[in-house]
Amino acid sequence: MNAPSPALEVVLASDNAGKLAEFGAILGAAGIRMHPQGELGVAPAEEPHLTFVENALAKARHASRQTGLPALADDSGLCVPALGNAPGVFSARWSAIAGGVHSDAANNARLVTQLQAHDDRRACFVAVLVLVRHAEDPVPFIAQGLWHGEILAQPRGARGFGYDPLFYVPALGCTAAELSPADKNRHSHRGRALRRLLQELQDDSLLDGGLHIQDHSRNPS
């Protein structure tokens, strides 16, 4: 895939190490320079909404407002039909909101416990990405990626993060945590959403239609 034009410099509205690695690999290959928001002194935004897209948009606008840069944000999580599509937008803090420990291990343990009484083990990772050219951008780029699988009763694999050790992909015969970083980016919800977003950015007419993404690769004249 060719790099978008003009070259982009964006702030990523996340400090999650796993997400940073995944974003960095794909965006870097596309010629987009990424700055994690913490590197620029941006505190995390509130995520009060009940949908992925609303939370992603809030985070992107917050990061852009604080830095003056175009901003990319994602909101992602695991949806399990047997649990009414929980944990959903609360995936990262699912244990904590129930009074437990705020950690991946605690979230995974709660998921296993909640599914013990269910035969339906289907699950879907969801990622919604929002890129704003500036904080008040009225037409942000939005892309969604889905990754279908099922939940195991025991974790497998030491890679990845979050629910990856429990997320089994029958078509691949392994969990997300057993995939190499490159293979995970090839198949994952976040990788799919990023590729769709990059495809949108290839359309120069969208970039130049009076809503210019500033090119920070050059010094201003």
Contacts of 150 (CB under 8 A, 6+ apart): 121, 122, 123, 167, 168, 170
Residue in 75, 104, 137, 164 annotated catalytic: 75
- Taking the C-alpha atoms of residue 53 and residue 154, their distance in angstroms, rounded to an integer, is 31
CA angle 79, 82, 83 (to 5 degrees): 65
DSSP element (H, E) containing 126: strand 122-132
Contacts of 220 (CB under 8 A, 6+ apart): none
- Taking the C-alpha atoms of residue 55 and residue 37, their distance in angstroms, rounded to an integer, is 16
Residue 208 designated active-site? no
Catalytic residues: 75
